Structure 1
């Protein structure tokens, strides 16, 4: 079994590092609010100009047709540099449009997504549904050639600077669960759309997005009516390998090591032992990430490997951040310091993209056949 990258892929990593030399000042990996939005969008446009937002797109849609490893390397290195996370538009949205979209939709969006000119956010979670997407209540009622949308989404990343929301809404009966959902593309400047900030524990911003009688042309529905579950599920399946880059953890650990040295703790044998334990776990998460990449590359079902990787990685992010407090340093509890920020930020990682409880439930049901 091969766990490394090809010579061509490693050469591409070198190109990425050269690109990052021009963009290391963009601190956009952590969503600290609107102050990073302009820098992140500049990075996306620069990536788009190189064709790097469409690396794995099929050539028939204007992509490079490269294996998923190229995407993995790109976002892994951008995570280590703290520059930016993968945008939803060229990833999940574009790949769903390739499979489920109309020719008109693909013509309208794909080129701008590939060039980093158009930004999407995901309208999935709701106040009363949380991570249970089958319980979505935001309602899209059909009136002739339009839908009228009422409801609310919450904890929506980047809605305050995105152009469109990829909206999962209910077009079936209230009891229809996953069988009554549809996906609509909604411009965020539409009449009746209201975006409000939700402050986060790390000082950043998520959003509530409310829909009050928002009219959306039925031509902007992706896939058939009431088949939105298939649209979001298939798109997620091809994006799992880039959603939690493991090099983010290697950077977290390196920052912790650097901090112990500056705090005069590096020679403490208990500190060194704890750092060694964390280093082993970082290597474990990297191995899980490569195993997941292998499943995605071979076209195998990847939901369970992705859940293992996400669960292990986000819990480790918390443990790396918590270690500074375990070393009895007051700085770890002082607001505004880097180590204190990392603790607050790491907590959010166990929630975004599916909570740890959801990941454990998925593993229990699909890998071990447990009911619940």
Structure 2
């Protein structure tokens, strides 16, 4: 790993200055406050401004098609993180847009893709079901063909951003008698279709997600992506991207892990606690003068650095687990005032450690639980075989 400082050319320095000016203009304290209050992880004003300025087109396009080159794409990503751009809905939109380009009919591509670049159309993920857990192939939401249309019934949990999106990338079961990976069909369903009901759910960290009900929802066949019962092939690439199972770029100009955003937030909280611990109190002493504080803080910093350096699925597990492990220590070091949330008078670190503590459980289930990813690493990287969750065999009765 190369930790040397990157020296930018003059034109790239100007590009960076322009990025910072744009983000500082549009991602204001008001935007960040509103995002904390709603938990949306999305701001339509910022998103439309990005579309009007061409940033969304630049992100969706390859360098050969007029998009950002590798260095400028990395600078753009880092500056968005620095500014705390509400980003989740755009992240799901990018993931789904690739499937629309690859598997959508010409009619569907024409309907959807131009609006993505303007920021007027956003896409969310309709995977998890209330009784399905992390196995998205255990899909019970039914799609039944009726002439040139499909009738969809079922429900989906954790459809984050649905209330701010125009379409959902929906996994359905179109053949209940077939094996689970051969019974799935993917659709891009317009969320303004009759029969769709979106209900908000607030998570413990303050974010909003949704449960979405589908009651006799009719969609034209043009909204189908890929073959009937061939949805698993359509779903694999978006799932791999969400899981972080992607190849490493030779130039290294990318996030090491798909959870790097969460890892950087954790590192920021640790830096803030470290600065407080190094500050002299009225008696001239510092928290760091207590050897137990110095030890626990040093251990936390080491865990964060190791987690941020871990690639792919390893980084996903390392970052989420580190957040769970160190956030209680950070709060304990700061004392009772660390339990006060952001923008609360008297909060020890303006709520940084408290937020990480509440966020940690969620980071361990995004896109699948930590246990799922540990099993994937065990099976696909270490070659340890599939996990066996069957009940232990009962001992045979003794014959007298």
Q: Distance in 1 between matches of 2:60 and 2:271?
A: 34
Question: Relative to structure 2, which stretch is displaced further, 18-27 or 211-220?
Answer: 18-27
Distance apart, 1:361 and its partner CA: 1.0
Query: Could you tell me whether the CA contact under 8 Å between 1:168 and 1:182 is conserved in 2?
Result: yes
Secondary structure of 2:361 counterpart: helix
Alpha-carbon deviation of 1:2? Answer: 5.1
Structure number, greater radius of gyration: 2
Q: Which residue of 1 aligns with 2:361?
A: 347
The answer to whether residue 266 in structure 2 is matched with residue 249 in structure 1 is yes
Q: Which residue of 2 aligns with 1:283?
A: 305
Partner of 1:316: 322
Pick aligned residue for 2:336 from 309, 330, 337 = 330
* 1:254-303 deviations in Å (ceiling 9; x for gaps): 23334546795354443333333333333323333xxxxxxxxxxxxxxx
The Cα of 1:94 is off from its aligned counterpart by 1.2
Aligned pair in 2 of structure 1 residues 14, 188: CA closer, same or farther (>3 Å)? same
CA contact (8 A) 2:40 2:207 kept: no
Q: Structure 2: how far apart are the matches of 1:33 and 1:143?
A: 43
Matched, 1:25 2:39: no
User: Alignment partner for residue 110 of structure 2, among 107, 117, 120?
Assistant: 107
Residues 1:128 and 2:145 are matched in the alignment: no
Give the length in aligned residue pairs: 354
User: Structure 1 CA distance, aligned partners of 2:265 and 2:371?
Assistant: 22
Equivalent pair of 2:159/2:212 in contact (CA under 8 Å): yes
Q: Do the aligned partners of residues 59 and 106 (structure 1) sit closer, same or farther apart at CA in structure 2, a change above 3 Å counting? A: farther
Extract structure 1 runs of 4+ deviating beyond 6 A: none
Once the two structures are TM-superposed, the CA of residue 16 in structure 1 deviates from its matched residue by 3.5
Distance 1:258 1:215, change over 3 A: farther
CA distance in 2, matches of 1:351, 1:35: 17
SS in 1 for 2:56: coil
Q: What TM-score comes out, normalization by structure 2 length?
A: 0.77
Contact 1:260 1:266 in 2 (8 A): yes
Cα distance, 1:315–1:222 mapped onto 2, change above 3 Å? same
Q: Which residue of 1 aligns with 2:392?
A: none
Q: What secondary structure does 1:134 align onto?
A: coil
CA drift of 1:49 comes to 3.0
Q: What stretches of structure 1 of length at least 5 have no aligned partner? A: 289-304
Pair 1:355–1:79, CA change in 2 (3 A): farther
| Offset at residue 221 of structure 1 (A) | 0.8
Q: Using the alignment, how far apart are the partners of 2:55 and 2:297 within structure 1?
A: 35
Check whether the contact 1:27–1:36 (CA below 8 A) recurs between aligned residues. Answer: no
Q: 1:229 to 1:260 in 2, by over 3 A?
A: farther
User: What pairs with 1:254-265 in structure 2 (closer than 5 Å)?
Assistant: 254-260=271-277, 265=287
1:356 alignment partner, one of 355, 367, 370? 370
- Tell whether the 8 Å contact from 2:40 to 2:161 is kept in structure 1 after alignment: no
Shift in alpha-carbon separation, 1:261–1:196, aligned structure 2, 3 A: farther
Paired residue secondary structure (1:155): coil
Aligned to 2:83: 81
1:139-154 equivalence runs, <5 A: 139-154=142-157
Q: TM-score, normalised by structure 1?
A: 0.83
| Contact kept in structure 2, 1:156 and 1:207, CA below 8 Å | yes
**Which consecutive residues of structure 2, in runs of 5 or more, have no partner in the other structure?**
245-254, 282-286, 388-400
1:160 counterpart SS class: helix
Distance 2:47 2:379 in 1: 37
Change (3 A) 1:166 1:280: same
Question: In structure 2, what is the Cα distance between the partners aligned to 1:182 and 1:61?
Answer: 33
Q: CA RMSD in A?
A: 3.2
Deviates more, 1:167-176 or 1:181-190: 167-176
Are 1:171 and 2:188 an aligned pair?
no
TM-superposed deviation, 1:83 = 2.5
From the superposition, tell whether residues 342 and 170 of structure 1 become closer, same or farther in structure 2 (CA, over 3 Å).
same
Aligned 8 A contact 1:97 1:106 in 2: yes
Given that 2:266 and 2:356 are in contact with CA atoms closer than 8 Å, whether structure 1 keeps it comes out as no
Q: Matches of 2:161 and 2:215 in 1, distance apart? A: 20
- Indicate which of 180, 183, 188 corresponds to 1:180: 183
| SS state at 1:21 partner | helix
